[in-house]
Structure 1
Amino acid sequence: MDQVKEIVNSVKEAMLVCLSDSVSEALREANMVIANQPGANSANAMHLNDEKQAVVERFSNNIGSNFDELTGSKSRQVNVLDYGSLSLVEEDDLEAIIAMEGMISHARNCDIQEYLRFTTRLDSLFYGTRIDESNNPMDPEQIGEAFRDAIRPVSLTAPDLLIAYRKFNSCVFHNLENALEKANGILIQKGIIPNLDIAARNKKEQRNKRRVRRQKSDPTDRAFATAEQNATGAGTNQQLLSMMQNLMHGSQTHGVPAQTVPTGNVSSNAGHAGLQQGMMIGSQKVEIVASDQLLSLLNKLQSVAGPEHDDSGVNDGATALNLSNSVGKLLEQGSDSEVLRAIDSQSLDIINLVTFLYEEIWRDETVPIPVKELIGRTQITILKLALQDASFFEDADHPARILLNELATAGICWTETDKQNADPMYRKMNEIVNSFVKDFSNDLELIENLIDEFKEFKHGQALASQESEHRLMDADERKNRLSDVNDYALHKIKERILSEDVHSFVQNFLLTHFHKFVVQVVLREGPGGISWKPVMNTIDVLLWTVSHEKSEGDLEKFTKVNPRLLANLGKALEVAGIEKDEAEQSLNELKNVQEECFKGSWEETNTPSATPSDDNDDSSIRETPAAESKLPEDDEHLLEVAKYPIGIWLEFQVDSEHTIRCTLAAKIDTIEKYVFVNGQGVKVVEKSKTGLARELKAGTVKVISEAPLIDRAMESVIGKLRESTTTPQ
């Protein structure tokens, strides 16, 4: 890891110089435009000129932090919002905000070749971490956010801010490829995939290519070659498929018993590798079935299960169908005393590999049972596809793989199996699987259409779940829907209160005084504005200060954070229009509750006979004081937790029978608190950093891998085949 940090730091230093120079140029040009526009206020231009160096420094620090977060040298800080500097977005500012979003989108969608090369090289440095727009320091959104945060303290007027954004776009985004070329040059000098060649490809062309039969080319060449090279590359070898075949045959030639290889050898008298058309096996003459006959056998096998059954042949919901044996039995039935029906070695290998693949899907503990059952029904259909289009194994962007990965991702938060029929998402997934199994006839366009249909459905579901937010996005609508705004703000506050034993005064404070403040925030910014996450984090910090469950070191954190918290709450009450005397009285009462909670908590924790509560809430997981002693700073689980990025999915064990899956929504570093939400964005779990590390150590929480399901399963197959070849006789 030290070597990776050294390489990434080399890129970071170069990019800080390059990007900072571009930002400085953008601010210089923006200053000139602001100063020379008709009716300009010279003070505004002078203010930006005076603040230019500070903006560049803040921008540089933000970019540097993004690189440091990637290497684990620094974690993203989400602190309590300082309401003293709260700047609610005026409606005129929306034009600048929308403009920046458009610039980011355009910069990302330009399909920059150097960006693709940089992302690929960077991704190769981090095992187990996927580099994408959420964590790539050179992604346009990361760079745009760094500039937005850097220039915000200048408090430019909306028209001047728009000018600054446009100059940033022309000086930074338009020259981003040059910066990335320098970054790639550094990585090449460090020996990171020096011969990589990526050509930017038109997305519409790629979509059309998927609708014709796949070329049997090397996956790396196919992914990184030009369209012309792809057109002439039909004769190249399929290296990944060949590697798996060699490993599979190697395990057999090394004398490894069949059961030590992933279970799947075709019935002994039907599919031996090496059988040739016309060979005599005793009194039987070998007859190799043609490809169309093999597909007919698979259709027969599929019809035996029937549409009402899992086409995967799942037994008790625990294993995938051994297609090799199933096909072998059908071949036996078609043989007689004179003819031995068999299949060619290539088809045999593909049948085995598909069987192995689905076995690994069933072994993947991160995939919910309902998703396994749905994907399991596609096994025979995928086999028919792979027999006709072996690039399924090679191409991570194969439509069939994308479809299966989309299904797996959509069900990532499911933990129960008895309520899925009522879930619109499950019903749609079931419909998509039925269409794929029933209608597929080697037509990739059908799969592409199913992917588009499913994505459109998910988008519609997301819009439906956020209907109230969308109704309130328009400023005029918000003014006309004051009742909806009040209900929305109240609902969001209630979502943050997981524990039922929160002090009654605190609940009343949040649902009355603070509720009025949240209403003002929504009226000014709309749902999800720039202040929304900090406001929600403030609620979480307040609830932490009045929780009876405390851990070692919390008193020190409380002493440090509470003065600022109270000052912020005071500002919030001012914004909410609460009378000064009433606000002061409320804050004094709140301080009394906080002090009592800390005093009572430490008396209980320091009493030897005290025992933690065993109570659990159905919607959340609570921590107990006994689990909260400090861990060493170099504890491996503490270090791992510190690196968890926003958006990572975890599964918590609630009790012996129930689990809950949720994603990390916020890390509040001031109190070392991690906040998790479910698939609908509702807070369901909050953990201290130490508590989460202890649960990880105890095995009561696990990370749900975000790598695509089929990629994970393919890697597992290759890994087990490699183990098979090295297993001693």
Structure 2
Amino acid sequence: MNKQQILKESIVIFDKYLQQGLKDAMKLTLKKLFSKAEVASSNQQEQELFNQYRQLKNGAKQFSGLIRTKIKEMPDFISAEVNKSDSKMSLSLVEDEELSISLALTQLDSTLEVVSHAELYTLEKRMNLIFENEKIDKTNMPFSPASVVWLFSHAFTQIEFDVPVKTMIVENLVKEFSDDINEAYHEINAVFIKAGILPNIKPEMIRPKSSGQDGQAAQDQAIDQTATDEQSASVQSGAGQVQGGGSGPSGGAAGQPGSLPGQAGGHAVHQSGSAGYPAGGSAGGNVESGYAGIPGQSGQTQQEARQLVESIFDLLSPPRGSAVSQNSDAVSQQSVANVDIDQALEQIGQDTGVVATSKNIGNLKEMLTDQVRNNTGNYYPELSPRQHKTLDLMGMVYDEIENDKTIDTHIRSSFNAINVPLLRTAIKDESFFTDNGHPARKFMELLVESSQKWHGTNVIKKIHQYSDTAAKSFDGSTQSFVKALEELTQYLKVTQTRAERAEQKWISAAEGKEKMDITKAQVDEHLQDILEGCDIKFIRDIVDHVWRDSLTLTLLREGKDSQQWDEKIDSAKTIAQIGNKMEFMKLSGPDKLKAMHQLDQTMDELGFSKRDRLSTKDNIHMCLSWQESDELNKEEKKPSLKKVLSIDEAVKTAEIETANKKIEDIRELSDEEKEMRSQVVNMPYGTLFDFIINQQNDVKRRKLSWVSTVSDRVLFVDLIGRHPHKMKLARLAIDLCRKNIIRVQLPEGGYFKNALNRIVNRLKKLAA
């Protein structure tokens, strides 16, 4: 099978999977745009969203065609570029790409690379053979994540989609295509294997007998054991190690309750592998001294941190297959220096993405030993117990981050970018685990803190560029982390200031609204007295919906002791008297004319249309004529009044609001809800809450900004100070008790320290 035939078959496979992922991503984008348009806050926003919806719906087929054309062109383009250049070329974004699109595409590249690194690595080696040079790598090979980014970046320039639409397509493609990319690569690799290019052969390695292991069975077990089994055995052996503490058959030698069963001098090896840490004492003793009293402390000293890390290391026994023996010469022949590990990690990071969670650490160890073997010529390299445990501990820290629901999942791409620099730092710098001020650790802490504080916002996606910069400029020192920490801190400070200013705008508006509500309540008391005895509905509506607003504005502007207030009150009383037969007889002609003039002037000030003002005046005259008619003529038909559109609309709105009573208006709060209401009143501003917004338990994180017991109102804003959300205190108490709204409790004292405490807790439970 020749090169063109292989590429042709590979293109068909890649196009099939990518087109399906793109199709699903565009469907999700259309659904999201339609949903957002339905709940738009203004007509302008609704129209804009529907325009984007129609734009994507009409252009979806054309966009798919553009991607397909670019896929077919890509191998020839890469081949031509590589052959005419002496240096390696990389597929890149369009230079003038929008920042939001660039960030989305960068995250797409990072996610796909991490998900598919195993299949991608083998495909890269095969691609180098058919292109007949070594200039092809993951940054320029066809079908790689970088090529996917290149495809979309160049296709976007030829399609008239708005920037938000393009960004949403890429974000949804991350979800859809990452599930299928490994299948695509597997099928493409199968095409190469069928053509006889680098068939997937795994040579068997036979390791010579070590003095720390007896018999061929132990050797076979060490060779064949998978990485996942290694870690599982590590935790289980740690459990047995603690259980065996003290004297007895399972306790090991006297005075060494932490010794491994069947391992002579095992504790001595542990001591020698703990350079820079306090050595001596049993594993059980270290657990007690390192863990007791740590949780809940606000200021953890460096000594306490060391003891905590030693407690974890003591609970982690060396994995099966490691060379642990009394013969120091045998150990030195297989041991790997930290500098060799550092070099191997750097090379692995350049070749492929690294996932650092526990389930992937075993694979990483295998890759490390293979790389060290290639670099040093040591055919049987073995990580030291300390190196094993350091990698295992980093995997468990990443497990804590991955499983924490308070952390925005989008931050994972930022962590994936710095996985290798963090692992290299942890291996060669033991202060990483114990020094709260270590730059790499502070940067890691800031990423976690940001993902909690800015959960669900675009800030999380923009943070990725700082991690990416730190990873690319990492030279083995902490300088790249120092610079990234400084730049990210500055960016978050500016973002925080903008969010606070935006939030203050809504707080001021809420305070003004509360003042208005209090004033309306005072006016309402006066109107109830004024309208008592008014029998004509039209007259009641006029006083209720015209003089209410007028009196409210007068009270706010002039005050209760002003002449304007007295005049308004007198006019309202006069108009109300027209609706009562007995009181009407007491009115003089000048009083009626003055009240009519005041009514017309007030409606004009409030912005009523001229038609409504004339209709109101005619209706008042009709009411006057009806009231002036003979009192004995009770059979006289009531007057037919003209419609006043503004008044009718106001009446209907009031009736709807009365009919649609909320649950908090219908029933009293339970004792639990009353207690919750009191707690909310005393909560500090800035407290975070997760609002469950649908049946899939998706959440929107909001910040408590303002609480008033006067108006019984609560104001929330989103994390960047926009989209205010108002609700009653009673409603909030009910939802909190029903778990429809959940208070977010962010850990104090540093995430890393708390993660170490949770890890030691978990290991102790396994050991128990």
Task: Provide the TM-score with structure 1 as the length reference.
Answer: 0.42
State which structure, 1 or 2, has the greater radius of gyration over its C-alpha atoms: 2
Higher RCO (Cα < 8 Å, 6 or more apart): 1
